[in-house]
A and B are shown apart, each in its own frame.
Chain A
Amino acid sequence: MQAIALRPRFVAIPRRLIRLRRPSDALIAFWSCLVAYLAVAFYVTLIVHSQGLGQDGVSRVAIANRILFSGDPHLAAVGFVWSPLPELVLVPLVALKSVWPALVQDAFAGNIVSALFMAGAAYQIFRFLDEVGVRRWVRWLLTATFALHPMIILYAINSMSEAMFIFFLLLVARHLQRWLRTQEISALVSTGFYLAMLYLTRYEATAAAAAVVVIVAFATFIRTRSATRQRVRAAMLDAFIVVAPFATAFVLWALTSWLITGTAFQQLSSSYGNSAQLQSRGLSTSLTLGQELAASSQALHWMLALEPFLPVVIVACVAVIVWRRDWIALAAPAVLAAVVAFMFYAQVSGSVLQLLRYFIVVIPLVILMVGVTLARRSKSGSRESPPRGPEHVWRRRSLRWLWTGGTTAAAIVGIVLMSLSVQAGYRAVMDPTINVGYAAELQALVQRGPLTQAERLASLRFVTDHHVSQYVDSLHLGRGTVLVDDFLGFDIVMSSSNTQQYVITSDRDFQQVLADPSGNGVRYFLVPSEQALGKLDAINRAYPGAYANGGGLGTLVKQFNSVSDDATNWRLYRVNGTGTG
């Protein structure tokens, strides 16, 4: 009831009624975001047919597709290099392929899932702001600032796993915050389970888990009033409760991978994994000091490009928290900051590709920090003065017009800041030096006039793959007759109307077929040009020169030159000793 006492302008509505009304606000935010994101995704994917905005996302749909519809459908086809959840949530949608083929052939299933999770992230932001005690209109403004950020819109519609990651990360932060305020065990347990989901979405979750464990153990140690030994035990126990689901997910995923592939951590060791990808692009995983400095300045530059107000917000947030001594408010931003810090470190140490998307968490981080700064009250019940000025004093002097004016002014300032932030984000994602690899295609999307060469090429990604796929389909081949490594060839397989004609990497007899294609009924094979990631192609590795001259395995039928900036050409070979198609 204390919360009500702070807002004497209103009749003291029973708390229950407020509770009943508030979720509907958050749900409105969710549904509006979902509808908007789906509309944009529909336009981009199914009307303009621009798929290159999220290549990894498209490959996830291909993976879900091969789980259900390959020549050898099985769950383990999910693959073990990346986390499984983004693929698994696609499976139910991909199952509807026969009802709506575009779900798979245009990978629209991926767009639906990312839109769903990004709208869910907006919902979580709204709920978080509500729970820390941010005014209703400020909640709306901040949620909108998040949801309308061009980077957020981009990842809501491009079927990548970022949306899911942000969604679960916000859930973790929100429940951690709830546990710190209320000490309800259910909040701690929820935090733990969402951390596990986060890990199964993206491996960066490890940074968030580390932050959560430290915060939980520290908070319990400080709070427990007992002998030191008992405090240590209580802290260990809480840390265990919060980390156990995560640790179990970690061990189980490694164990499953080990049981099925013989390697526990494929993302580290696989021939398709992160390090292999870096090497294939000629990037070293150990950087010189100069390179490290350059990488860090670039990372900082990108973060500021996405959120120019970041330094101001950090200073304001920390100042307000110190002033109020409301240390609990630090926790949620700290979890997100840990992920940003981890990506920063990974970037600087050269262990990941330098991509703008790895810093997307900066956007919800800023929103959370602004929310914490503007919170009128802490739910722990201590009375706080409003940060924007002593409104209650003004009201007491009956200067209500002044207060209304102040609110209006604050709203105007807020909207101006929001539009500035959205504009800055727009410039960032459209800048080819910042949003490397994606800006050109985005330009092609929004440009009305003639396109530049780079923009034209970017808009044609995946077109070559579709040509290959259509050509192979036109040969009307039988089951298991075309050998292809779907690491790069995923879109060829996915957009085919006869996926079962392919023998792909996830098939359990792939190695056997690769060793003796003609003996296993294979009549054709497809290989990508041996540059960049093409070097990782299984056929290129098994038969050196496979692309150049068939590697002694077959004779060239057709070459498909890349029409886009992707630069991967494909060649179709007929396996020696088999009849013509």
Chain B
Amino acid sequence: MELSNLPHEQRDLLDSLRDAIVAIDEERAKELAKNIVNEKIDPNFAIKHSIADAAVKVGEKFDSGEYFLPHLVMAGDLMDEVGAILGKNIPPEQIERKNVIVIGTVQADMHSVGKNLVATMLKSSGFQVHDMGVDVPSISFIEKAKELKADMIALSSLLTTTMPYQKEVIEDLKSMGLRDQFKVMVGGGPVTRQYAEEIGADGYGKDAIDALREAKKLLM
């Protein structure tokens, strides 16, 4: 389906929903989502058009300094709510599966700012993100990734002395015979692309915006 094939009113509805999400106008976004359901617009198309476009615009606003981390969180939550309204009539077999990412700061590291930024950027860009928090042992990452059938494990580290825990996750995946099941992306202040390659990570994010680009490259 193409947007240009839709009647004007339906196109306007989809654009308005996108704009309401970008403006983080919760009430209007939910109302528009209900209208879209009532108009019987293909919900998968609506999700792709309105939510995915909104995600790009929200990311641009963060990049330009207009939006901050809490805006990303609010936009991400709103996208979930709108997605649930749009998706309630989609038969289970037609629900498009989102890419699932398990993210956290590695064991012994309590720093959350960079990880939070990456998690919210990923979530607000359409990934299903499970944030494990900080100080997360290798085995917890792996168990959660197995449980959720995740596509990627994203590991943050802000200390030179906690970077080896990123490697530990990759080594543990190998020893458990699971390395091929999950992409692994690493990042954090002292982490470099060279280090990511040395430890056998699939991807590296220099910052939140770079991490989003990398995740899309690896999973989409």
B is bound to A: no
| Interface residues, chain B, with chain A CB atoms under 8 Å away | none
